[in-house]
Structure 1
Amino acid sequence: MPWRSNLLLLALFAAFASLLYPAQEKIRQQDFNVLLITIDTLRFDRVGILDSRHVKTPNLDALAKKSLIFSRAFAHNPVTLPSHANILTGTTPLYHGISDNTGFKLDRKFLTIPKYLQRQGYRTAAFIGAFPLDSRFGLDQGFDLYDDYYGTHNDLELFFVERPAEKVIAPAMVWIGKHSQKWFAWIHLFDPHQPYLPPSPYKEKYAADLYSGEVAYVDAQLGVLFDFLQKKRLLEKTVIILTADHGEALGEKGEETHSYFAYNNTIHVPLFVLIPGRKPETFVKNVCHADIFPTVCSALGLKSPPGLQGESLLDILAAGDRKNPEIYFESLTAYLNRDWAPLRGMISGNSKFIDLPIKEVYDLKSDFSEMNNLAGSSKIGQLKDSLNRLIKRLKSRLAPGRENRIDPEVQKRLKSLGYISESRPEQRKKQYNEQDDLKTLLPLQNKMLSGVALFHTGDLSGAEKMIREVIAASPSFILAYKHLSSMYRETGKTVLAIAILEQGLEKNPGDIRLLSKLGIVLADSGKWQRAVSILELCIRQEDFDPDNFNFLGIAYYQGGDFAKALQNYGRALELDRNNASVYNNIGSVHLQIFLRGRDRQAFALAEMNFKKALEIDPKMFAACNGLGAAYKKVGRNAEAIAYWRQALAIKPDYDLPLVNLGITLLEEGRADEALDCFLNYREKFSHKIPVAERARVDRLIVEARAKLEPTG
């Protein structure tokens, strides 16, 4: 394979390293800074120095040439949240219990790299690129600063909210520049994750391979970061560890993206470790994400804390051929969200075993691309026994686990609401066969993804047909119900959005993910009493999702109970302090209190919370509208007009500000601008507004035109 020849070149490079790297002034290990960089969804073969066929990555290459390169590094999961939990805790999902992006939160009882380094006198900060690592999921523990300011607005529904690499790296450089004492910083860059939308000039240069365009863009931004570190003379005293949380299949083995299978295209990852004063080398040894925490300790001359499941990479290298650890991996998203067969496996030396109903065994020395399944000629029983021993060794009673068990009181109330039957079926099958194998069910997985893609082209009808076919074939496919509900909700078909979730609950009684989604849609559509009943139950079952508290607050607000609304918004902020939507909703409560009693303190609180929402998310158009309404009520018309215009600039089809903006412009003697607002409103929204509202707008149009007519 091409990457192998590149590794030979790297080995030759390492042989001359002593000539290229003169001795530097000795800096104590204990004074080193640590920079952890994780690039989401980065394939091993998309780093130029490892495989030059696809994309040029000069900045990643420059880092690699100064680093220890581990050419056989593996992720334990092909999913963002569990993979980062593995890295930060130095343990596997069998220990910390996180196996997917949804329904999990890292428990506070687990030790993480930043927690441990804080005890050693380090300042700590994280700079996060996207929602899967939001503070609500528990990875923020141990950080003095957890910067997840990526906003709440996403132009593409059904994809994670994210921010580009430059918006992550910029605040990281500011923070690093302010700290002279030793620090640990984690930078997470999400760009290579689907959807592939690189900015210019990368989208033009890589028009035929937009994924590689995203990688090229990230590489350029890392160049900015590395130049900054060089100018600040920090490279000589900073340990840099760069890896990916997982790769991307890009259609190989039939998988379009990741999180389904666990072939090497999604779990084989780049791993570079730069230690000041250490010569660069390339190693072909099996290593894993759990090894990063103990490696940080070794690089700093610290003793590793007890309980870590990985080993220091430096210790593995020092052991020579005597050390080639067994590596556990899993892919449980389909199991947890569809009740399809769980995928678990292990890598031992050159042997890779994938434990599914249809077993798979590969010789990684001769077949790293996993094209020739040797299961038919392998001793499967022995491999299964070895995997079970590894699982038993790694498993912890500390792991919270997740089998969607329902609290007895919640179960009782769900029965009264009709969302669970008296004889609730088992949530999981006791045994899986070849019909449950991920390879067998791959066409359904891809059909669901094709449905999502159709929706983003504007073809709701085609998307609906595809996803309904998926649901008919696999009624336990929870994500299909949620995606179809989101499509209906996004296109204004609220009744259908509710109906498909209720259908899902008929097939999957009491499923907390469907219940939560149903409660949110009900609150969003004004059906506040049902929303309150359902969301209260969801919170009792899972109390770590700020969205449930936020929408419960919305439901209470709709019912006029402002005290309970504020109470639930407060709980949401405890879980996610950077949630712009919650600040906007708090502003709306205080605005209503002000309008009812002219309480100046309520006005100040409304203004403060609306502005906080915009500080976090400048695209929060609802906060602009709220500020416009607040300023109008106190006679500050110029500011009201400015904020309403800002709201419409963000969302041109936003109906709420248009009429109020027109009325205010009319009061200010700007009848021509007011007329434009009224006509625009009537053209866009007359089909969905009540008759009385249409009549009012028509009268305003007549009034505006009258003021424009010349007088006698």
Structure 2
Amino acid sequence: MKSINPNLLYTAASFAVLGVATSCQSKKKEEQKLLNIVYIMTDDHTAQMMSCYDSRFIETPHLDRIAREGVRFTNSFVTNSLSGPSRACMLTGKFSHKNGFTDNTTCKFDGAQQTMPKLLQKAGYQTAIVGKWHLETLPTGFDFWEILPGQGDYYNPDFITETNDTVRKEGYVTNIITDESLDWLQNKRDKSKPFCLFIHHKAIHRNWMADTCHLALYEDKEFAYPDNFFDTYEGRPAAAAQEMSIGKDMDLIYDLKMLRADKNSRLKSLYEQFYGRMDSAQKAAWDRFYTPIIDKFYKDNLKGEELVRWKYQRYMRDYAKTVKSLDDNVGRVLDYLEKEGLLDNTLVVYTSDQGFYMGEHGWFDKRFMYEESMHTPLIMRLPKGFDKRGDISQMVQNIDYAPTFLELAGVSVPSDIQGVSLLPLLRGEEPADWRKSMYYHFYEFPAEHMVKRHYGVRTDRYKLIHFYNDIDEWELYDLQNDKYEMHNIFGQKGTEEITSDLMRELKRLQVQYDDPILKEYPINE
């Protein structure tokens, strides 16, 4: 038998040990690899118009893919149902009274304050935002940004760049925002670092101008009317005082595109500005579609309930067409991440800055603490290692996004952040101490749509709202027996105990969140 050189045995053993050590180190390095975040937020996209939440109206296959391959939050809410305040809450993890941006009419966001993107930057993340900002000051905490001025335009929009130049880009805004986001991912970021990309769409904000390639969609569809479409607001004076009714407040020209030289409306000139941004080809396609509808509308001369129903159908169709482009572009982002091998290492979040009324109570817009505007869609495709799938029913709010992203990135969550991380829920845990109630506060009055200032508390079954400032009215709803919030039972016999319990909880939340609106409540001891 041939003898074996002991030195060779030593060498082979050394390589074996080295191989095991290298394998362990590689595995450890892979485990420590930081996860990416893609946060897609739209404007005024409501859960009723996402088929993974509600299949009555339209199909949203790419959004549904996120929910199917990840999780769908069924009790996701905002703290203040308005675009700018909602964005400020997301960035800071704090309520409006803490981050200083309470409303769109009087506030500017203090960019010097602590924000989640800044904390991610310090932890070595590449951060970027493309699209709608709507906070009146320029972004801080981002390695790259290109934002729409104010609300932005659907066609050939302007963008403000990092050099503070305003640049006009040709095309349809939803496509452009996606193009610029994917360009940053592919060509402009440091690929050695983890990233957090905020894709903030203008869509589906009023006045719902669809891409020309989608104009003919849904024209043969008759949308069902909500059960409370002709709400009379009995027992709810704040609801009666609003100016967001499809019947009396939806502008025929600005909102519904019924432009004709001999007709006027309050917002006609603003619509003409939007239309004027189109190039000749876009105008030709637009006119080809709308001219026959305009001619027929003025010929028919609709009145009363018939006119209100017509307005609702046009509103629903325009909104649905605008969603179509958004859904297609979400699909482009998912396809890119999959092609580049990034899906398993990336948390993909889709949400809106708040919900929206699709004819419920006869309304469009948002603002109220009622369900359709307080509730917001939230779906997530989870990175490898997070095995939760399906619905998450715990109550969450938009102040929770900041601590979630920070914990995901391995960053300590500052003690002054008021939200809580959603990571335990994404791991499939059922925390016993999860919140059992939520606080809400809306400030913007007087302003567009004239929704009264109000605050309140929501539990899994009940909702208590106080309208204040120029009014002093309380509303109480049993969401189990009155899901459309039509019957204000505040002050009714038999509600004394639940009212006192909710008053105590409201006071507790105002103390917890340090809201200076704190007052004494009529609590039965």
- The answer, yes or no, to whether TM exceeds 0.5 is yes
Residues 29 and 301, structure 1, Cα contact 8 Å, conserved in 2: no
Alpha-carbon separation, structure 1, partners of 2:151 and 2:464: 41
The counterpart of 1:271, out of the listed 371, 375, 378, is 378
What CA distance in whole angstroms lies between the structure 2 residues aligned with 1:365 and 1:55?
27
* Aligned equivalents of 2:176, 2:211: Cα separation in 1: 13
Deviation of the 1:176 alpha carbon: 0.8
- The one-letter amino acid of 2:179's match is A
CA spacing shift, 1:256–1:294, aligned 2, 3 Å: same
Calculate the aligned-residue CA RMSD, in Å. 3.1
Secondary structure at the aligned position of 1:173 is classed as helix
Distance 1:146-1:290 versus aligned 2 partners, 3 A rule: same
8 Å CA contact retained: 1:345, 1:387: yes
How far apart, in 1, do the equivalents of 2:347 and 2:180 lie?
20
Which residue of structure 2 lines up, in the alignment, with residue 331 of structure 1? 442
Tell me what 1:198 maps to. 210
Which letter does structure 2 place at the counterpart of 1:39?
Answer: T
Q: 2:153 & 2:140 partners in 1: Cα distance? A: 26
* Alpha carbons 2:46, 2:356 under 8 Å: kept: yes
Distance 1:243 1:361 in 2: 28
> Are the equivalent residues in 2 in contact too, given 1:76–1:289 (CA < 8 A)?
yes
**In the alignment, is residue 112 of structure 1 matched against residue 115 of structure 2?**
yes
Give the alignment partner of residue 508 of structure 2, picking from 372, 384, 389. 389
Structure 1 counterpart of 2:477 = 362
Report the counterpart of residue 127 of structure 1 in structure 2.
130
CA deviations on 1:174-214 (whole Å, 9 max, x unpaired) are 10112312111101112111102112443211234211221
Is the aligned partner of 1:282 residue 2:383? no
Quote the offset at 1:272 in angstroms: 1.5
Task: Provide the C-alpha distance between the structure 2 equivalents of 1:137 and 1:170, rounded to a whole number of angstroms.
Answer: 24
Q: How many angstroms does 1:323 deviate by?
A: 1.9
- Call closer, same or farther: CA 1:325–1:111 in 2, change over 3 Å: farther
Letter in 1 for 2:502: L
Helix, strand or coil: the match of 1:294?
Answer: helix
1:75 aligns with 2:78: yes
Q: SS at 2:103's partner residue? A: coil
Structure 1, residues 59-108: CA drift from partner, whole Å, max 9, x if none? Answer: 00011112222110001122100001111111111211212112212224
8 Å CA contact 2:151–2:202 kept in 1: the answer is no
Cα distance change of structure 1 residues 151 and 312 upon mapping to structure 2, 3 Å threshold: closer
**Superposed displacement of residue 121, structure 1:** 0.5
Asked if 1:378 corresponds to 2:495, the answer is yes
TM-score for the superposition, normalised by structure 1: 0.48
Q: 1:218 aligns with which of 308, 326, 347?
A: 326
What does residue 56 of structure 1 align with? 59
**CA spacing shift, 1:137–1:172, aligned 2, 3 Å:** same
Q: Equivalents in 2 of 1:26, 1:327: separation in Å?
A: 40
Question: 1:638-694 deviations in whole A, cap 9, x for unaligned?
Answer: xxxxxxxxxxxxxxxxxxxxxxxxxxxxxxxxxxxxxxxxxxxxxxxxxxxxxxxxx
Structure 2 counterpart of 1:310, one-letter code: G
Question: Is the contact made by 1:30 and 1:300 (CA closer than 8 Å) also made in structure 2?
Answer: no
Q: What percentage of residue pairs aligned between the two structures are identical?
A: 26
Residue in structure 1 matched with residue 418 of structure 2 by the alignment? 309
Q: Give the letter aligned to residue 141 of structure 1.
A: T
Contact preservation (8 Å) 1:43, 1:269: yes
- Residue of structure 2 aligned with 1:189, choices 165, 189, 201: 201
Structure with the bigger percentage of helix: 1
Partner of residue 429, structure 2: 318
Task: State the secondary structure of the residue aligned to 2:407.
Answer: helix
State how far apart, in whole Å, the 1-side matches of 2:510 and 2:150 are: 39
Partner of 2:136, secondary structure, is helix
Query: Could you tell me which of 391, 394, 403 is aligned with 1:294?
Result: 403
Unaligned runs of 5+ in 1: 1-23, 402-429, 431-712
1:392, distance to aligned residue in structure 2 (A): 2.7
How many Å apart are 1:308 and its aligned residue?
Answer: 0.9
Matches of 2:32 and 2:394, distance apart in 1: 25
1:102 aligns with 2:105: yes
Counterpart secondary structure, 1:296: helix
Aligned to 1:580: none
CA distance in 2, matches of 1:153, 1:239: 27
Paired with 1:327 and 1:382, the residues of 2 have a C-alpha distance of 14
Q: Give 2:24's aligned residue.
A: none
> Paired residue for 1:653?
none
Q: Note the C-alpha offset of 1:253.
A: 1.9
Q: 1:54 to 1:106 in 2, by over 3 A?
A: same
- For the residue of structure 1 that corresponds to 2:74, the secondary structure is strand
The change in CA–CA distance for 1:71 and 1:396 in structure 2 (over 3 A counts) is same
Q: Following TM superposition, by how much is the alpha carbon of 1:42 offset from its aligned partner in structure 2, in angstroms?
A: 0.7
Query: Within 2, Cα distance between the matches of 1:135 and 1:240?
Result: 24
Change (3 A) 1:300 1:80: same
Partner of 1:136: 136
Equivalent residues of 2:84, 2:134 under 8 A apart: no
- Inter-partner Cα distance in structure 1 for 2:375 and 2:484: 10
Q: Which amino acid aligns with 2:319?
A: Y
Q: Structure 1 residues 328, 81: CA separation in 2 closer, same or farther (over 3 Å shift)?
A: same
With over 3 angstroms needed to count, the CA separation of the structure-2 counterparts of 1:290 and 1:101, relative to structure 1, is: same
Would the alpha carbon gap of residues 182 and 386 (structure 1) be closer, same or farther in structure 2, given more than 3 Å must change? Answer: same
Q: Verify the 8 A CA contact 1:344 1:355 in the aligned structure 2.
A: yes
Find the partner of 1:352 among 450, 463, 471. Answer: 463
Partner of residue 164, structure 1: 173
SS of the residue 2:75 aligns to: strand
SS at match of 2:215: helix
CA deviations 1:318-373 (Å, max 9, x no partner) are 34454234211122222577997421112123221111233222233443332333
Distance in 2 (alpha carbons) for counterparts of 1:328 and 1:351: 12
The Cα shift of 1:47 comes to: 1.1
Matches within 5 A, 1:465-480: none
CA–CA distance in structure 2, aligned partners of residues 272 and 372 of structure 1: 31
**Distance across 1 between alignment mates of 2:383 and 2:151:** 39
Q: Where does residue 40 of structure 2 map in the other structure?
A: 37
Larger Rg: 1
- 8 Å CA contact 1:29–1:299 kept in 2: the answer is no
SS of 1:256's equivalent? coil
Output the CA distance in 2 between the equivalents of 1:155 and 1:365: 40
Per-residue displacement from partner, 1:211-262 (whole Å, max 9, x unpaired)?
1221122001111111111111111211112111111113322432223x22
Kindly provide the amino acid, as one letter, of the partner of residue 177 in structure 2.
V
The runs of 5 or more residues in structure 2 that have no matched partner are 1-26, 160-167, 220-312, 520-525
Alignment correspondent of 1:525: none
Distance 1:134 1:152, change over 3 A: closer
Cα–Cα, structure 1 residues 46 and 80, in superposed 2: closer, same or farther, change >3 Å? same
Counterpart in 2 of 1:238? Answer: 346
Matches of 2:153 and 2:127 in 1, distance apart?
29
Q: Supply the distance in 2 between the matched residues of 1:48 and 1:221 (Cα, whole angstroms).
A: 16
- Cα distance change of structure 1 residues 25 and 49 upon mapping to structure 2, 3 Å threshold: farther
Structure ranking higher in strand proportion: 2
Aligned AA (1:274): R
Over 3 Å counting, the alpha-carbon distance change for 1:118 and 1:315 in structure 2 is: same
Write the mapping of 1:4-23 to structure 2, written as runs, cut at 5 A. none
Task: In structure 1, give the amino acid aligned to 2:356.
Answer: E
Q: Which amino acid aligns with 1:370?
A: E
**TM-score of the aligned structures, taking structure 2 as reference length:** 0.64
Q: Superposed, which structure 2 residues align to 1:522-601 within 5 Å?
A: none
1:336–1:98 distance in 2 versus 1, CA, 3 Å: farther
